[in-house]
Structure 1
Amino acid sequence: MEYLTPAHIETPVTTPESLRPWLTELTSTPLFDDLAQPFAHPPVATTMVVLRTEKSGRGSAFVVGAQTKASYSKPEEPAGCVRLRLEPGVTRQLLGVTAGELTDRVVRLDELPGPLGGFAKELTGVPTAHAITHLEDLLPQRISESDTDRAHRIVLREAISALTADNAPALSELTARLAVSERQLRNLFTTGIGLSPKHFARIQRLRRVLAYAGDTPWSHLAASTGYYDQSHLTADFRTLMGVPPAAYLRGKLPAPSRCQMPR
Structure 2
Amino acid sequence: MISLRAPSPADSVGLPSQAPVVTADLVAATVPAPESLRPWLTELDYIPTVRDRIEPFAHLPQAATTLVLRLPDAGPRDALVIGPQTQAIYSKASKPTGCIRMRLAPGAARTLLGVPAAVLTDRVIRLAELPGAAADLTDELLELGPDEIFPFLEDALPQRISEDRTQHAHRTLLRSAIVEISTGRSVPESATALAVSERQLRNLFTAGVGLSPKHFARIARVRRVLSQAGSTPWAQLAATTGYYDQSHLVADFRSLMGVAPTAFLRGTVPAPTPCRPLHHL
Query: With structure 1 as the length reference, what TM-score do the two structures score?
Result: 0.94
User: Which residue of structure 2 aligns with residue 81 of structure 1?
Assistant: 99
Q: Deviations over 1:117-161 (max 9, x none)?
A: 111122114322333333222111111111111111111111111
After superposition, the C-alpha distances for 1:58-95 in whole angstroms (9 at most, x for unaligned) are 21100010011111001111121111100000100000
Aligned to 2:276: 260
Distance (Å, rounded) in 2 between the aligned partners of 1:112 and 1:94: 9
Q: CA deviation at 1:106?
A: 0.7
Task: Report SS of the residue matched to 1:24.
Answer: strand
User: Contact (CA 8 Å) 2:23, 2:57: kept in 1 or not?
Assistant: yes
| In structure 1, distance between residues paired with 2:178 and 2:33 | 21
2:270 matches 1:238: no
What's the secondary structure of 1:72's corresponding residue?
A: strand
Can you give the 5+ residue segments of structure 1 that lack an aligned partner in the other structure?
none
The CA distance in 1 between the partners of 2:270 and 2:198, in whole Å, is 36
Cα pair 1:35 1:77 within 8 Å, conserved: no
Cα shift at 1:27: 1.0
Please, what is the CA RMSD of the aligned residues? 1.6
Check if 1:216 corresponds to 2:232: yes
User: Is 2:20–2:265's contact at 8 Å kept on the other side of the alignment?
Assistant: no
Aligned partners of 1:195 and 1:110: how far apart in 2? Answer: 24
- In the aligned structure 2, how far is the partner of 1:61 from the partner of 1:104? 17
1:169 — aligned with what? 185
Instruction: Show CA shifts across 1:192-220 (max 9, x none).
Output: 00000011111111111111111111111
What's the CA shift for 1:246?
A: 1.1
The worse-fitting range, judged by mean Cα deviation, of 125-134 and 50-59 is 125-134
Q: Does 1:227 align with 2:243?
A: yes
Q: Which residue of 2 aligns with 1:44?
A: 62
Q: How big is each residue's C-alpha offset from its partner over 1:21-60, in whole Å with a ceiling of 9 and x where there is no partner?
A: 2111111112222345431111110000001111126211
- SS across alignment from 1:240: helix
CA offset at residue 18 of structure 1?
2.5
How many pairs does the alignment contain? Answer: 261
TM-score (norm 2): 0.88
Cα distance in 2, alignment partners of residues 116 and 262 from structure 1:
18
Q: Structure 1 203/14 Cα, relative in aligned 2: closer, same or farther at 3 Å?
A: closer
Q: Do 1:53 and 1:125's aligned partners in 2 also have CA atoms closer than 8 Å?
A: no
Shift of 1:222: 0.8
Q: 1:1-263 counterparts in 2 under 5 A?
A: 2-13=20-31, 15-56=33-74, 58-165=76-183, 168-260=184-276, 262=278
Change (3 A) 1:153 1:211: same
Please give the alpha-carbon distance, in whole angstroms, between the structure 2 residues aligned to 1:13 and 1:228: 35
Q: Distance in 1 between matches of 2:95 and 2:58?
A: 17
Greater displacement, 50-59 / 247-256 = 50-59
**Match of 1:183, SS?**
helix
Q: Using the aligned pairs only, state the percent identity.
A: 55
What CA deviation, in whole Å up to 9, does each residue of 1:208-259 have, x standing for no partner? Answer: 1111111111111111111111111111111111001111111110000012
The 8 Å contact of residues 70 and 241 in structure 1, kept in 2 or not, is answered as yes
